[in-house]
Amino acid sequence: MVLIQAIIDGILVGTTYALIGIGFTLIFGVMHKLNLAFAAASIAGAFLSLIVWQNLKWLPVPAVFLIAALGAGVLGYVIYVACFRFIPLKSPLATLMATVGMLIFLDEVVTHVSDGKAQDYPGMLPTARWVLGPLDLRVDYLLVFAISVVAMLLLLALLFRTRLGIATRAVAQQPVAAQLCGISLDRTNAATFVISGVLGGLAGAMIGSSAELLSNLLPLQLTVKGLIVTVIGGLGSIPGAVVAGLLVGAFEKGLETWSVLARDLCVMLLIFVFLVAKPAGIFGKLNVRD
């Protein structure tokens, strides 16, 4: 029973991993480039909202979340300009390294802001419980789940119901053809970075909120987890990122009931199992070349 409870909790919280995975996947789908600074930018957005909240304690939690999402969205644009805009497409290593530079920079900013320790973050109804038979569900986890699902549905609506979404998908499929149709690559790419940033910032804020703590170690941890989710789900696949996020979340929480120490080791082994048995990921097309 403890295990089932843990797995359900893991699935609920795993939606935040799914959002981070979607961010990585979106950028990879459109640019065919890896943005290693993405998860760090998401947490940096959450820390921005933390600073605002520490000065204005009366702010309601949704407003804090909004600040985190907007802050990470702006950071997404900054990353696009600093690491992608001016570096030639032919040098994939240079863009990768530039995002690593950004990752180190943001990680350091977070360390400074947090004084090197975890900081209190406003929680959503931390004490509320919803007892369902033998299960004891935390209401804030359910809220995290609900907010994430709404955010994902909004993203899908954006991608499949708006002109920007059509442009984004066109660029992902065939950048040259998209350009010939009069789509601005520059603007579409920038928009993708902002959208994924907003999703990431929301996820970062919810990770902090569900623990009522924002840890200074999160930028690196979340980078690793986000990449794992992206690869397990299949590169460039949004449904894959969602399923993989839930899977990793459930796997993690389930293992925690057994041993906290072995948890991270087992998650790393999980990715090796996937790489050997299903290298394309859950929903990805097998395209081993980049």
**Binding footprint of other proteins on the chain (CB under 8 A):** 28, 34, 82-83, 86-88, 91-98, 100-109, 111-112, 220, 223-224, 227-228, 230-231, 235, 261-262, 264-265, 268-269, 271-272, 275-276, 279, 288-290
- Of 161 and 278, the one with the shorter C-beta distance to other proteins is 278
Structure tokens at 101: 């530079």
**Closest approach of other proteins to the CB of residue 199, in Å:** 19
In this complex, which beta carbon is closest to other proteins, that of residue 137 or of residue 280?
Answer: 280
Comparing CB distances to other proteins, the nearer of 91 and 162 is: 91
For other proteins, which is the closer residue by CB, 184 or 287?
A: 287
Q: 165 with 159: CB under 8 angstroms? A: yes
Beta bridge partner(s), residue 137: 130
Q: In angstroms, give the least distance from the CB of 157 to other proteins.
A: 27
- What is the DSSP-derived secondary structure letter of residue 81? I
Q: Which residues contact 135 (CB under 8 A, 6 or more apart)?
A: 4, 5, 8
Nearer of residues 1 and 286 to other proteins, judged by Cβ: 286
Q: CA angle 130-241-26, nearest 5°? A: 125
With respect to other proteins, which residue has the nearer C-beta, 25 or 210?
25
Minimum distance from CB of 265 to other proteins (Å)? 4
Burial of 273 (0-12, 13-18, 19+ CB in 10 A): exposed
Least Å distance between CB 6 and other proteins? Answer: 20
First to last CA, the chain: 43
Helix (H/G/I), strand (E/B), else coil: 161: helix
Within a 10 A sphere around the Cβ of 262, how many other Cβ atoms? 12
- Between CA 272 and CA 33 the distance in angstroms is 22
Minimal distance, residue 46 CB to other proteins, in Å: 19
Please say which residue, 176 or 261, places its beta carbon nearer to other proteins.
261
Q: How far is the CB of 99 from other proteins (least distance, A)?
A: 9
3-state secondary structure of 240: helix
C-alpha torsion sign, points 94, 100, 104, 109: positive
Q: In whole angstroms, how close is the CB of 103 to other proteins at the nearest point?
A: 7
Q: Is the dihedral of CA 44, 49, 54, 60 positive or negative?
A: negative
